Amino acid sequence: MNNFGVIEVASTATKNTPGWAYVPDTGPALSAALQPANRKRVARKQTTLSFSDLSAREETRIRKDLEALDRDSHKDANIAIPPRPGGSRVQNKHTPNVRKILQSQKTFANHLDDYQAMLALAESNPGAAAAMNAAVAKPSTPTTAASKSASPAPTAASAGGSKRSAAAAKRAAAKEKQEQEKEKKKARRTPKAEPEPEAEPQLQQQQSQDDQTDIEMPDAAAPTEPMPTSAPEPNPQPSTYPRESLILPAYAKPPPQTHPGDADPLLVSHVPPFPSDDELRALMTAPPLSYLEARAEWGDEEGRYPVRVFCAVCGYWGRVKCMKCGTRVCALECLEAHREECVSRYGL
């Protein structure tokens, strides 16, 4: 089922005007009737469990706020290139590639969407994608280096030309779609990272086992002494530290003086085993992640704590909410200041 090549794109358009709908009034208690039946909406709800007091409207507001903060300037500056004072440099002819690049009006967001569309295409329809652009054959290797070598035309041309329509559609694609893709990619990343360096899973397993078997490691004498750059070195068990490691050679100096307390079982410190050369080499030669994969996401840790809220007027803790619009303020004085301009507009 490839859906005849049609890729479903969720709309990200947000309306400033209110739409309306009949909603069952079930009182303050959130009943099952209010639970969305749509699978996507359920998913969206779940991700925001920690924001217990965030309604969809507030979510939208936060999203818009963030977008505004991310822009370069308040107003879009459209500054044309000023004429050269001397006009000294002779205008030589540009090559076709250069002309295309110079005339491109694409923003970073456009490029990112193009890239995502390319990845999505490669994922949903590998055959077509491969035919279109051999570069994107594998989404798991985001560096399209391999692809570019195969196609004589630089990717810029193919990305700009043939995929422009797809990109334009994608540009409008909803944030949730991005989110989903990101999650998918994340899921893909975890299994992918392992098999690439061949021996790594086993090595890591070994390592974790090693971790559990307590390694006797008399502490390097003075804890105040700065660590050698590579590994905490001197130890009587060279077996855990591949002294023969070529990538990170062992600490060459004589180890610091032993201390009588070194043997004390209470003071023995636990030093993790050092990765082997193969492991290091695999890490050092691994291909770069894509732009989206490298973006840090909330782990399980961060979502667990409530988000701090601040007074919208003075910046102190937001201890009370405006009853009209839900904005947080600190105390009565700020609440009054806020009320003067509190407008509970739709879609705000």
Partner 1 sequence: MAASRKSRAAGPPAPSTTLVLDNGANTIKAGFVTGDKTDGPRIIPNCLARDRHRKTYVGSELEKCRDFGEIALRRPVEKGFVVSWEAQKEIWDREFFDDKAPQRCDPSETRLVLTEQPNALPALQTHCDQMVFEEFGFASYFRGVGPAFNAYQDIQAIFHTPRTPDTPVDVPAEVILVIDSGYSHTTVTPMVQGRPLHQAIRRLDVGGRLMTNYLTRLLSVRHFDMRNETFIANEMRESVCYVSLDFKGDLEKTWKGTRGERRDDYLSGAGIARDYVLPDSHTTFHGVVRDYEPGVSARARKAAVSTEDILTLRNERFVVPELLFNPSDIGLRQPGLADLVMQSLSVLPIGLWPGLLANIVVVGGNAKLDNFIQRLQMELLERVPDECVVRVARPEDPIISTWVGAANFARHEHVERLAVTKQEYEEHGAGWVTRKFAAGLPVEP
Q: For residues 198 and 302, which CB has a smaller minimum distance to partner 1 in the complex?
A: 302
Tokens, residue 347: 């879609």
Torsion of CA 180, 183, 189, 192, to 10 degrees: -70
Q: For residues 9 and 215, which CB has a smaller minimum distance to partner 1 in the complex?
A: 215
Closest contact distance (angstroms) between CB of 33 and partner 1 is: 29
CA dist 70 and 112 (Å) reads: 15
Closest contact distance (angstroms) between CB of 43 and partner 1 is: 15
Footprint (CB under 8 A) of partner 1, residues 1-60: none
CB atoms within 10 A of CB 189: 14
Footprint (CB under 8 A) of partner 1, residues 245-304: 246-248, 269-275, 277, 279-281, 283-291, 293-299, 301-302
Closest contact distance (angstroms) between CB of 130 and partner 1 is: 16
**Contact criterion met (CB below 8 Å) for 119 and 134:** no
Q: Coil, helix or strand for 329?
A: strand
Q: For residues 42 and 62, which CB has a smaller minimum distance to partner 1 in the complex?
A: 62
Burial code (b: 16+ CB inside 10 Å, e: under 16) for 254-267 equals: eeeeeeeebeeeee
Footprint (CB under 8 A) of partner 1, residues 195-214: 204, 207, 211
Confirm or reject binding of residue 121 to partner 1 (CB under 8 A): no
Confirm or reject binding of residue 106 to partner 1 (CB under 8 A): yes
Footprint (CB under 8 A) of partner 1, residues 131-160: 135, 142-152, 154-156, 159
Q: For residues 2 and 237, which CB has a smaller minimum distance to partner 1 in the complex?
A: 237
Q: For residues 4 and 295, which CB has a smaller minimum distance to partner 1 in the complex?
A: 295
One symbol per residue from 310 to 339: x for binding partner 1 (CB under 8 A), - otherwise; what is it? x-xxxxxx------------xxxx--x---
Segment contacting partner 1 by CB under 8 A, of 20-28, 32-40, 67-75, 124-132: 67-75
Q: For residues 169 and 211, which CB has a smaller minimum distance to partner 1 in the complex?
A: 211
Member of 2, 11, 97, 162 binding partner 1 (CB under 8 A) = 97
Residue with structure tokens 């704590």? 305
CA dist 95 and 104 (Å) reads: 14
Backbone phi and psi for residue 320, each to the nearest 5 degrees, phi listed first: -130, 160
Per DSSP bridges, beta strands 320-321 and 328-329 are antiparallel
Q: How many residues does the chain have?
A: 348
Q: How far is CA 213 from CA 209, 236, 241, 270, in A?
A: 6, 17, 15, 10
Closest contact distance (angstroms) between CB of 162 and partner 1 is: 13
Closest contact distance (angstroms) between CB of 311 and partner 1 is: 9
DSSP assignment, residue 55? -
Nearest CA to 129 out of 85, 98, 159 is that of 159
Closest contact distance (angstroms) between CB of 217 and partner 1 is: 10
Q: For residues 3 and 213, which CB has a smaller minimum distance to partner 1 in the complex?
A: 213
**Contact criterion met (CB below 8 Å) for 287 and 141:** yes
Confirm or reject binding of residue 73 to partner 1 (CB under 8 A): yes
Q: Coil, helix or strand for 281?
A: helix
